[in-house]
DNA sequence: AGCGCCGTTGAGAGCGCTCTCTCCCCGTGG
DNA sequence: CCACGGGGAGAGAGCGCTCTCAACGGCGCT
């Protein structure tokens, strides 16, 4: 920087002004400085800048999932799950125009302290926290750190933190309505894990809506949001309730598994059983028949999370606020 | 830090020694300092540290893919592709024990300068560069920057840079041998994009091996490594060469698409057509029948990239070296 | 002509850490 | 008993940047 200053015949302060686009710089001088920068190939040192501005221009995307016995498969599952992929994509696209970079940090409950340490060290200006499990303590810990944060779903305990969510119950209702409209009368569901709010909300939204339409008891099998889990649940369901004709599956991955089982067992979809998924992930298009599903705009939600986070970073005292997206039904071939 | 020093009754220098694990500290003093750190809740400021050590303890994972007209789908495709997910997982697992974090940077050729600027600014200590397209100029640019880097495949132009790759031709040969051993005699292939070395190498490895076994001409359709591309290619293939009985598909995603087409068209796999994929990604298990495929240990390769990168970072003058992994055949139900 | 103001620039003090260099004190050997 | 050596702690100089504050010069005004 001294070199640039000398080359341009000005002081360091002026070089700094030019670099940071300060308005009160004579245009001639600005030009000289810019030429000097180009000639010397000068690039600001971010560490020095961060030291004084206390900004790192990067945010963490923390993906918190419960323990897995085998760490290898844990990382694999996370980075291979299209849901997290969509989140990453959405956050990246919102952050990029602001020249803010994403540090991706997967974590299970065994290394929360590492994550907390990382955050405290000031590596990042804020956190996008993807945490779904009810008993996850990370949201609270992050909140207590006092660092700007946005979480991906309504926190289970009342924490004053901004979050972005989709109207889960409405989504489930959309699915129920559609199955009803098709004429299905023997309804069931494969739910998500019931220790996850979204799993619970989708199940509850489905059942409570159907209750108002004269279906007081709707059978449900709990799944785990994986394809294999969907297969197992579908088999179970068919064993316990062979006569069902309408099924809501709490995410697309499980629905894909279920579809496969139905095919293997010779049930025609949607004629014998109509199936509605949830997410509208790429998996919905990888199924046969193409999956009718409740669309959750994950990319847009992640982008919104990023926007809200940037607002929090820009104005520290800002009050937390929550944004809820509306799901919509995407009708394809399975229902 | 001053506070800690005062609380422990020592100088800042000693606190620094304790934090960085310098050996020459009296154990009693060390203990006092550690207590003081715990009491004050002190956390080192990483920016200040980076400023003097010139280390950021993070590396960039740059994923360079060619232009896409629509940026949104570009990000989506990258973050949803299991191949990149496995890379991220592998790199993360190797980096984590060293407390090095990953900044994920997708890029198309339109914003290479942004990436270069980011790297020059010293945000990261090194780069893991995922770049497959032949005409991609980023590897060269990164190399010219002089920043430690490891690329994911043998560079097309001779650049003195470390890389990690799998023996593509051997993988293709494994597939060919297996098909031959099954008794297939009407062989074909759906290749990857031919402007990608791995696409080319797999095609060429397949053909040149088969040539030595008395199959001078083997039909091939060029695919694009996507599921939909695989479907289209498979349709085309069946139209052009209705009698084929053995097919090598250059990646699992396309194989999954092809399998679907064969099912729709009533071709039994493997009885009518045996199919071998490439990658052994999760997609191989999502197919029916389960996909026989050439396993590419992507996670291990990414981990190795990270190890090599860390070695380069640790010893700046280190000569570039390349590591080649052996593929292996995973026999399941499709061939 | 003198005064004061505003628009620009420069000087310099940090930001919080590491690391070299110096110093001190103790143990050892002559 | 003194000289010497070495382990261990402290002092202080930066690392490269931003930003406040002061200074300066030109302008319009009285």
Residue A258 with chain B: CB contacts under 8 Å = none
For chain B, the domains span 2-44, 58-166+299-325, 168-295
The pLDDT value recorded for residue B119 is 93
Interface of A with B in 291-310 (CB under 8 A): 299
Q: What is the pLDDT of residues B205-216, one digit of tens each?
A: 999 999 999 999
- Classify strands A246-249 and B274-279 as parallel, antiparallel or unpaired: unpaired
A13 touches strand C (CB under 7 A): yes
The closest alpha carbon to B260, from B281, B291, B239, belongs to B291
| Contact present, A312 and A127 (Cβ < 8 Å) | no
Query: CB under 8 Å to B100, separation ≥6 — which residues?
Result: B57, B58, B59, B125, B310
Per DSSP, the three-state class of B249 is: strand
Beta bridge partners of A332: none
> Binning pLDDT at 50, 70 and 90, where does residue B239 land?
very high
Average pLDDT of chain B to the nearest whole number:
91
Which CATH homologous superfamily contains domain B58-166+299-325? Response regulator (3.40.50.2300)
Which CATH homologous superfamily contains domain A2-44? lambda repressor-like DNA-binding domains (1.10.260.40)
* Chain A: closest CA distance from residue B239 (Å): 22
The pLDDT value recorded for residue B109 is 82
Residue A43 with chain B: CB contacts under 8 Å = 117, 120-122
Looking at domain A168-295, which of 3.40.50.2300, 3.40.50.300, 3.30.750.80, 3.30.9.10 is its CATH number? 3.40.50.2300
The pLDDT value recorded for residue A317 is 83
Distance A53 CA to D25 C1' (A): 32
Percent of chain B scored above 90 by pLDDT?
Answer: 66
Beta bridge partners of B61: B104, B128
Residue A288 with chain B: CB contacts under 8 Å = 260, 263-264
Mean pLDDT for each 10-residue chunk of chain A (335 residues)? 84 88 82 88 91 93 79 82 91 94 91 90 94 87 92 87 95 97 96 92 96 95 92 95 96 94 92 96 87 95 96 90 95 95
Q: Please give the backbone phi and psi of residue A124, each rounded to the nearest 5 degrees, phi first.
A: -130, 160
Which CATH homologous superfamily contains domain A58-165+299-325? Response regulator (3.40.50.2300)
The pLDDT value recorded for residue A316 is 85
Which residues make up the interface with nucleic strand D when CB must lie under 7 A?
Answer: A 1, 12-13, 16, 19-20, 42-45, 48-49, 51-53; B 9-14, 17, 23-26, 29, 48, 51-52
Cβ atoms < 10 Å from Cβ of B184: 21
The pLDDT value recorded for residue B264 is 87
Of all helices (H) and strands (E), which one includes residue A208?
helix A197-212
The closest alpha carbon to A129, from A96, A158, A103, belongs to A103
What does DSSP assign to residue A10? S
Q: Do domains A2-44 and A58-165+299-325 have the same CATH topology?
A: no
The pLDDT value recorded for residue B70 is 63
Interface of A with B in 239-278 (CB under 8 A): 256, 260
Cα B153 → chain centroid: 9
Mean pLDDT of all residues in B226-255: 94
The pLDDT value recorded for residue A97 is 92
Mutate to test the interface with A, among B38, B53, B85 (most CBs of A within 10 A): B85
Cα A85 → chain centroid: 8
- Classify strands A126-131 and A149-151 as parallel, antiparallel or unpaired: parallel
The pLDDT value recorded for residue A178 is 97
Residues in chain A: 335
Separation CA B174–CA B176 (nearest Å): 5
> Binning pLDDT at 50, 70 and 90, where does residue B69 land?
low
The pLDDT value recorded for residue A70 is 63
Q: What is the pLDDT of residues B222-238, one digit of tens each?
A: 999 988 899 999 999 99
Q: Please give the backbone phi and psi of residue B153, each rounded to the nearest 5 degrees, phi first.
A: -160, 160
Pairwise CB contact (< 8 Å): A89 & B102? no
Beta bridge partners of B104: B61
> Binning pLDDT at 50, 70 and 90, where does residue B88 land?
very high
Separation CA B144–CA B149 (nearest Å): 11
Interface of A with B in 124-183 (CB under 8 A): none
Chain B contact present for A120, CB below 8 A: yes
* Closest Cα in chain A to B145: A41
Separation CA B287–CA B257 (nearest Å): 9
Angle CA B32–B33–B38, to nearest 5: 100
List the A126-131 sheet strands across, edge first: A322-325, A162-166, A149-151, A126-131, A58-64, A101-107, B101-107, B58-64, B126-131, B149-151, B162-166, B322-325
Beta bridge partners of B329: B294
The closest alpha carbon to B161, from B309, B9, B327, B280, belongs to B309
The pLDDT value recorded for residue A68 is 64
């Amino acid at each position: 920087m001294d070199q640039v200053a000398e080359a341009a015949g000005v002081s360091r302060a002026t070089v700094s002004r030019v670099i940071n686009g300060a308005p009160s710089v004579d245009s001639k001088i600005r030009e000289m400085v810019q030429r000097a920068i180009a000639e010397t190939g000068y690039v600001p040192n971010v560490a020095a800048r961060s030291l004084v501005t206390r900004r790192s221009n990067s945010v963490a995307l923390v993906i918190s999932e419960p323990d897995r016995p085998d760490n290898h498969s844990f990382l694999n599952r996370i980075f291979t799950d299209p849901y997290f992929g969509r989140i990453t994509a959405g956050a990246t696209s919102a952050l990029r125009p602001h020249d803010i970079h994403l540090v991706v940090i997967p974590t299970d409950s065994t290394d929360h302290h590492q994550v907390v340490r990382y955050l405290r060290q000031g590596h990042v200006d804020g956190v996008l926290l993807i945490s779904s499990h009810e008993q996850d303590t990370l949201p609270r810990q992050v909140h207590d750190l006092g660092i700007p944060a946005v979480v991906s779903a309504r926190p289970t305990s009342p924490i004053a933190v901004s979050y972005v969510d989709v109207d889960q119950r409405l989504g489930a209702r959309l699915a129920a309505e559609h199955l009803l409209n098709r004429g299905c009368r023997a309804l069931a569901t494969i739910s998500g894990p019931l220790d996850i709010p979204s799993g619970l909300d989708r199940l509850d939204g489905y059942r409570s809506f159907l209750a108002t339409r004269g279906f007081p008891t709707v059978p449900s099998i709990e799944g785990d949001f994986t394809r294999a889990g969907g297969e197992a649940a579908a088999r179970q369901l068919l064993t316990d309730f062979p006569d069902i004709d309408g099924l809501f599956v709490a995410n697309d991955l499980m629905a894909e598994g279920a579809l496969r089982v139905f095919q293997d067992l010779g049930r025609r979809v949607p004629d014998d059983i109509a199936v509605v998924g949830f997410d509208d992930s790429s998996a919905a298009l990888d199924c046969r028949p193409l999956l009718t599903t409740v669309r959750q705009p994950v990319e847009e939600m992640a982008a919104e999370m990023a926007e809200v986070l940037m607002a929090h970073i820009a104005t520290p005292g800002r009050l937390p606020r929550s944004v809820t997206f509306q799901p919509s039904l995407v009708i394809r071939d399975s229902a």
